[in-house]
Structure 1
Amino acid sequence: IIGWGRRPPWGGGLLRRAVSFTSSRCHGVGSGEGGARHADSGSAQGGYRDTVLLPHTEFPMKLSGQKLLDREVEIQQKCGFAELYSWQRERKSKKEFCLHDGPPYANGDPHVGHALNKILKDIRNRFEMLRGRQVHYIPGWDCHGLPIELKALGEVGTSGLSPLQIRQKAREFAEGAIARQKAAFQRWGVMADWDQCYYTYDGAYEAAQLKVFQEMFSKGIIYQDYKPVFWSPSSRTALAEAELEYNTEHVSRAIYATFPLVKPPPKIAAEKAGLEGVSVLVWTTQPWTIPANQAVCYMPNAQYSVVKRADNTQLLLVATERTASMAALLGTQLESVGTFTGSQLEGGICKHPTLPDKDVPLLPANHVTMDKGTGLVHTAPAHGMEDYSVASHFKLSVECMVDEDGKFTELAGPELQSLSVMAEGTDKVISMLKECGALVKEEQCVHSYPYDWRTKQPVVIRPSKQWFINTASLKDKAKEALQKVRVLPESARGSLLAMLDRRTYWCISRQRSWGVPIPVFYHRETGEPLINKHTVSHIANLFKEKGSDCWWELPIETLLKAGPVADYVRGEDVLDIWFDSGASWAAVLQGTSDPRADAYVEGKDQIGGWFQSSLFTSVAVRNKAPYKSLVVHGFAVSENGDKMSKSLGNVVDPDVVINGGQDPIMPAYGADVLRWWVAESNIFSEVQIGPTVLNLARDNIGKLRSILKFLLGNLQGFDPRVQAVDPKQMHYIDQYMLHLLREFSIKVTDAYSEFDAGRVIRTLQAFLTRDLSSFYFSIIKDRLYCEPEDSLGRRSCQTALEEILDGVTRAIAPILPHLAEEVYLHAPGHDRETLFKSGWIKSSSVWRRPGLEEAVEGACAIRDLFLSSIPGKHAAQYDLTIAIEPGLLFELMESLQEEPTSTSSQLAELMMAARVSLVSELPCDLPPDTLLNHGTFLINLEGGVIREDSAYSIAVVPTSAARCPRCRRYTVQSADCLCPRCKTVVSQAH
């Protein structure tokens, strides 16, 4: 083999294992049997105990309780967690990795959703920093909005408070929430410069936001209009779609009401004279909107029928396909009198049921469906988005009869004025319909209905003069930009596109005090807005210098420097907080090498929130997405998969996870357990958390600590800088482990690059369990404990162990930074004071040597057969004869054992047998108790150019040798004698 003292006739290459071969690394048979195992247990006899090199390290096997917590905090301080981000920003680096932090809301304490999100980001950031990239990560907070305002004011409310007083209280509340959240993020080990965060209430941030507003306004994308919006009477403000949550249990009083047909459609009147007395039947779940009705809509290509009720003489116009359902609902037969197409209804006029002087036209509309109701839709343009579209097309009135408190105005008439539309107003409208004979049926309807996500109260749709973003003009550009964005998981792309399609327009004005003022002035007399690039730019500069409080503090002469100032007043609306956070790319990313972030990483609720608002604003201003990739993760839920809520008592507090709680089932786990939970979870689904998964995480970290302690213990006194063995001189099994370590590092690097920390953990556990614990550690203990301290074999092994320790420690570092730094403090041969300043896993292509894999894995195939021949018995008690016909496999085995028979060759070590003999054919005079077995091993070299299916046989017999009293291997003639190796070691010790 190249560099091994003999050169094979082939060049070397990759081995492809035969199907019949299963490496012993997979099942760990014989792990630790023989002398090494007994030496490890401290059973080396009396006088020889001190000559055995057992592992020793100060690294503790277990940390728990307060000791664990103190150690983590100590590690953070000692290893400079607080300075790490600034350090890596100052070093030279060819590449930058920018993860833009979606701002958590500053309205409460940190929760496990925060932990899932922040730790997930930190794992990727630490990985990128370790592999040499300059990480750009500036944590931020979303600081404005109604929930903060409501919580800050508490029971006091806004009564008697000026906008500046409200803003001061809201700011103080937000600052307190930020301080608590920031302290938690730091305790979790999140790497950032915590003195350089972004806050949406900072003047510089607000100024950048206004520049985005100005750009969009100048392009005509932002405009003012009077149209229906989602209005929250409980908050007294307009809401955007992203601020709604839909209550699927909402109960409405649905009604069927009649609109008498006073002017038949011309196309029908000519054909069907004498159909006087027909009424159009409509259905609505919002009876309070009937007084605002302006039309009844039909589907042009549908069929409609005039039907006669069997229980009275009433004639009703309904969609033909809804007739059977209506008959069942009314409990009577409906006889068809005539059938028409929807287009024939054109020109028909109805009479409004509660407003006798009002005519209601029949109009075509494509939004009419046949799923429910009558196939004829009551249309109130002031209170429906689709209704408004009809009104725009046919120039109908969009008069509003509902005020900001959700009550009827005087326009609705004296009977309805001041009644709440969702309560007594609905009662009164239904009563009025009864009185005039227009009510056909009332029923309870349970359906999905929009609620204000802050107050948890139902909203109404009502028209108002607001500022809007024309999302229709941006949708195609946004979709095109998304095509260039990588989405993880890819399945989330469909949801992103669907949310874009559903966004008809975006109302960005809010009637509150705590927010960024919309920089508009209004004429005192006409109400016409005054806004242009000069006025907005001036206001932006003032905000940057003084903060947005100056909108209320400064006289209008200072705010509006030009023109007839006395004729104008400042606007009172503020911007939607989704516009606040959606402009974060402009405030935070503009100073980066690429103004697009490498990644945005948030929960799936941001598909219609921050992901979308950021996309719209960036596409509007720059014609590109603000991100190169999107990572969409699930929510944290209870162990039963339920949404966490205080009422259910299933909330898991991350502070309790770390520091422990009063309940004994929640001990102090520390930050690394919380981080392991995040890493191990399938983040693309709902992520469960509770005692079971946390205990499992703690146990897994405990197993990892045990392996790390073994590695550290056996590296005691080893300095890799001067004592490491050149790879070409190392034992082949040690070289092979470096080869496996290289494969491991490649897999781990790929997994981290894919935001797949779960795959990192699975790869790690497979490597630790299969390759190390069950395979390598069981083989090398004799060499580690019983060889001379400075022997080539022992130093070779320590060289491999040091590389493995270093690789494993770096592999876990992004996930478990506290444990990684703790190991690094105990590990030998480091120049740098912290692991995170010393780079990523170091692996060398030298570790992948021609023939190495084939030689060791060929031996592993034979080892498998040998160990399976002696189930339940100690391999060290047997002599093994391996018979292979001359060829590639024989030459490979010869590279591990050049002499015909040996008790100390590398092949004997791999087999863990007392003695191994390598022959070309089995002898004829085998003892009667010999165990015989046969196998094959496929050698595949040079990508399949050289293939050889090699047969081999093994003969296993109990050894006749006695056990050495020091190393406990069966290698001596008499039990009182030391084996030659041990005799040499002991004599040198004395």
Structure 2
Amino acid sequence: MRWGLCSLGPGPAAVARIWGLPRFPCSLGWRGRTRGFVVRSVTGASSQLPSSSNGRYRDTVLLPQTSFPMKLLGRQQPDMELDIQQKCGFSELYSWQRERKAKTEFCLHDGPPYANGDPHVGHALNKILKDIANRYHMMRGSRIHFVPGWDCHGLPIEIKALSELGGNTQNLSAMEIREKARSFAKAAIEKQKSAFIRWGVMADWNNSYYTFDGRYEAKQLRIFYQMFEKGLIYRSYKPVFWSPSSRTALAEAELEYNPEHISHSIYVKFPLLKPSPKLASLIDGLSPVSFLIWTTQPWTIPANQAVCYMPDAKYALVKCSTSEDLYILAADKVTPVASTLKTTFEVISTFSGADLENGTCTHPLTPGKASPLLPANHVTMAKGTGLVHTAPAHGMEDYSVASQHNLSTDCLVDEDGVFKAVAGPELENKAVLEEGTDAVIKMLRAAKNLLKEEEVVHSYPYDWRTKKPVVIRASKQWFVNITDLKATAKVPGQPAVRVGFS
């Protein structure tokens, strides 16, 4: 058996050896002589070989012959897509399979996309994967029930609609905003639906559902009322993530964290006002004592209501070598804090955190206002001084402490993220994350209660829609009580709590 191409003399076969054409066994039907080797010329093939004055090697290139176009130019691509749709009958496929007889029915509920923009690759991935599942079950003999829909409510649509208006939209009424959002959603739905149909997705496009439809909203309200009757809906005043840029509360799932966020880190003195009995015996006759706290949110200092400590931790009374002031902080944080403040601390005595019970300190911005010393489980030694400044309106753990000890939870920040008038003339109408922070730092420095201020880069929550930082502020919000639902779900044999209607 002979392998390869055997030339009887100079000619194309010799060139075949030079340019490395594939060798084939003779038993596969290839003749061993060059003149028996069939070649065809393909337009453009000469560009793959070295240029030649007479192009005599052009016919030695083996390429398949096909009428399929190598590329589609201009209107050829959309025209080809439409031609394929018509020939394959994509538009009639869903109705055809619904009319045929089938023993089983496969229903796929469509998690709707937001009607807030043009179709993109995410839509394609979602719809095509669903279409694959539907067609698989159809080919196995099932009848498919697939009604597509669109989520027409929510901030993504509202933000997009308002951004198209430009200028000042603060003066628009709620009804005007809803109408503009509705118009925007309708236009987005038409764009997306047209694309989904062009992609050949098999669905009941004539009966799509939309969450802004009156019938759909009526059903939502009916379910909401049933949940209310079951005691699952309640309104409460508590701290929540709040986006000043979109003026709304956010769930944890609506946050994204920016690891490069820059905040102002400060060390602040809270002068001791009334020592606990144990602490009184330690500082008898000594100069004034202050508690040291650290925070990356200086704008929350005006709302301070307490200073929390860890009951089981060791705390130290120290003397600063630079100012000779007396400070109290966690014993484990003495060295790192002194290093940060570029000084040294002399430890005078140590004691248990429980010995701070019933003590109070003075608010650093409001002389005469007492901030009690309170035990709390959320205090850690990971960062800071082991003492935590507590502003119940701006922290979940802080709010919990306030609930246990009947502290004020008044919020000094409005929906736009600026200080209210109740915060005082020096802070009123200042954005808390911008000039409001600078104003608080200036006030602390003037009160001689600021030990250090520096910028720190850390991870911070942002609104995933506007890509701007959020705050935590207390406000009245509606909540779903899932505690009872969890308890019922865990009881074996207990019927599930039904939320719906007949």
Cα displacement (A) at 1:333:
1.3
Partner of 2:342: 331
- Match for 1:280 among 285, 288, 291? 291
Partner of 1:205: 216
Change (3 A) 1:448 1:474: farther
SS at match of 1:186: helix
SS at match of 2:324: coil
Partner of 1:195: 206
Q: Distance in 1 between matches of 2:286 and 2:130?
A: 70
- Cα contact 1:216–1:620 (8 A) shared by 2: no
* 1:125 and 2:118 aligned: no
- Post-superposition Cα deviations, 1:114-161, rounded to whole Å, max 9, x if no partner, equal 222221222222112111223232222111223322332321543554
- Match for 1:65 among 58, 63, 72? 72
- Post-superposition Cα deviations, 1:630-660, rounded to whole Å, max 9, x if no partner, equal xxxxxxxxxxxxxxxxxxxxxxxxxxxxxxx
* 1:412 and 2:423 aligned: yes
Cα displacement (A) at 1:381:
0.3
- Cα contact 1:150–1:157 (8 A) shared by 2: no
Change (3 A) 1:418 1:440: same
Q: Distance in 2 between matches of 1:218 and 1:275?
A: 62
One-letter amino acid of the structure 1 residue matched with residue 155 of structure 2: L
* 1:144 and 2:153 aligned: yes
- Match for 1:361 among 368, 372, 377? 372
Following superposition of structure 1 onto structure 2, how do residues 25-174 of structure 1 map, counting pairs within 5 Å?
Answer: 34=27, 36=29, 64-65=71-72, 70-153=79-162, 154-155=165-166, 157-174=168-185
One-letter amino acid of the structure 2 residue matched with residue 406 of structure 1: G
- Post-superposition Cα deviations, 1:599-624, rounded to whole Å, max 9, x if no partner, equal xxxxxxxxxxxxxxxxxxxx86459x
Partner of 1:379: 390
Q: Distance in 2 between matches of 1:92 and 1:357?
A: 83
Following superposition of structure 1 onto structure 2, how do residues 502-901 of structure 1 map, counting pairs within 5 Å?
Answer: 621-622=498-499
Which ranges of structure 1 fall in alignment gaps of 5 or more residues? 1-28, 46-57, 482-618, 624-990
* 1:451 and 2:462 aligned: yes
Partner of 2:11: none
Q: Distance in 1 between matches of 2:228 and 2:25?
A: 74
Cα displacement (A) at 1:449:
1.7
Q: Distance in 2 between matches of 1:31 and 1:62?
A: 29
- Cα contact 1:100–1:138 (8 A) shared by 2: yes
SS at match of 1:65: coil
Partner of 2:322: 311
- Match for 1:293 among 280, 293, 304? 304
Partner of 2:245: 234
- Cα contact 2:365–2:447 (8 A) shared by 1: yes
SS at match of 1:468: strand
Partner of 1:915: none
- Match for 2:405 among 375, 390, 394? 394
Partner of 2:5: none
Partner of 1:667: none
Change (3 A) 1:223 1:190: same
Cα displacement (A) at 1:224:
0.7
Q: Distance in 2 between matches of 1:476 and 1:242?
A: 24
- Cα contact 2:226–2:499 (8 A) shared by 1: no
* 1:350 and 2:361 aligned: yes
- Post-superposition Cα deviations, 1:516-548, rounded to whole Å, max 9, x if no partner, equal xxxxxxxxxxxxxxxxxxxxxxxxxxxxxxxxx
Give the structure-2-normalised TM-score: 0.81
- Match for 1:250 among 261, 264, 270? 261
- Cα contact 1:300–1:365 (8 A) shared by 2: yes
Cα displacement (A) at 1:198:
1.8
- Cα contact 1:82–1:193 (8 A) shared by 2: no
- Post-superposition Cα deviations, 1:921-951, rounded to whole Å, max 9, x if no partner, equal xxxxxxxxxxxxxxxxxxxxxxxxxxxxxxx
Partner of 2:194: 183
Change (3 A) 1:75 1:300: same
Q: Distance in 2 between matches of 1:207 and 1:275?
A: 71
SS at match of 2:299: helix
SS at match of 1:195: helix
Cα displacement (A) at 1:174:
0.8
- Post-superposition Cα deviations, 1:35-61, rounded to whole Å, max 9, x if no partner, equal 5566xx99699xxxxxxxxxxxx9956
Q: Distance in 2 between matches of 1:620 and 1:225?
A: 23
One-letter amino acid of the structure 2 residue matched with residue 437 of structure 1: K
Which ranges of structure 2 fall in alignment gaps of 5 or more residues? 1-21, 39-64
Q: Distance in 2 between matches of 1:327 and 1:472?
A: 46
Cα displacement (A) at 1:409:
1.6
What RMSD, in angstroms, separates the aligned Cα atoms of the two structures? 2.9
- Post-superposition Cα deviations, 1:827-847, rounded to whole Å, max 9, x if no partner, equal xxxxxxxxxxxxxxxxxxxxx
Cα displacement (A) at 1:293:
0.4
User: Deviation above 4 Å: which 4+ runs of structure 1?
Assistant: 29-33, 35-38, 41-45, 58-63, 66-69, 471-478, 619-623
Q: Distance in 1 between matches of 2:432 and 2:272?
A: 27
Q: Distance in 2 between matches of 1:130 and 1:31?
A: 42
Q: Distance in 2 between matches of 1:96 and 1:30?
A: 55
Higher relative contact order (CA 8 A, sep 6+): 1
One-letter amino acid of the structure 2 residue matched with residue 365 of structure 1: A
Q: Distance in 2 between matches of 1:170 and 1:430?
A: 41
One-letter amino acid of the structure 2 residue matched with residue 210 of structure 1: L
SS at match of 1:100: coil
- Cα contact 1:257–1:438 (8 A) shared by 2: yes
SS at match of 1:282: strand
Q: Distance in 2 between matches of 1:472 and 1:444?
A: 41
Give the structure-1-normalised TM-score: 0.42
- Cα contact 1:83–1:193 (8 A) shared by 2: no
Partner of 1:441: 452
One-letter amino acid of the structure 2 residue matched with residue 450 of structure 1: P
Report the number of matched residues: 444
- Post-superposition Cα deviations, 1:374-407, rounded to whole Å, max 9, x if no partner, equal 1111000011111111111111110111122222
SS at match of 1:357: coil
Q: Distance in 2 between matches of 1:454 and 1:162?
A: 22
Change (3 A) 1:32 1:102: farther
- Cα contact 2:265–2:295 (8 A) shared by 1: yes
Change (3 A) 1:310 1:162: closer
- Post-superposition Cα deviations, 1:798-823, rounded to whole Å, max 9, x if no partner, equal xxxxxxxxxxxxxxxxxxxxxxxxxx
SS at match of 1:419: coil
- Post-superposition Cα deviations, 1:183-231, rounded to whole Å, max 9, x if no partner, equal 1112222111212222111112212222332232222222111111222
When Rg is computed on C-alpha atoms for both structures, the one with the higher figure is 1
Q: Distance in 2 between matches of 1:205 and 1:32?
A: 70
- Cα contact 1:278–1:317 (8 A) shared by 2: yes
Q: Distance in 2 between matches of 1:450 and 1:255?
A: 20
Change (3 A) 1:416 1:142: same
Partner of 2:442: 431
- In proportion to residue count, which structure has more helix? 1
% identical aligned pairs: 61
- Post-superposition Cα deviations, 1:464-520, rounded to whole Å, max 9, x if no partner, equal 122112345555678x69xxxxxxxxxxxxxxxxxxxxxxxxxxxxxxxxxxxxxxx
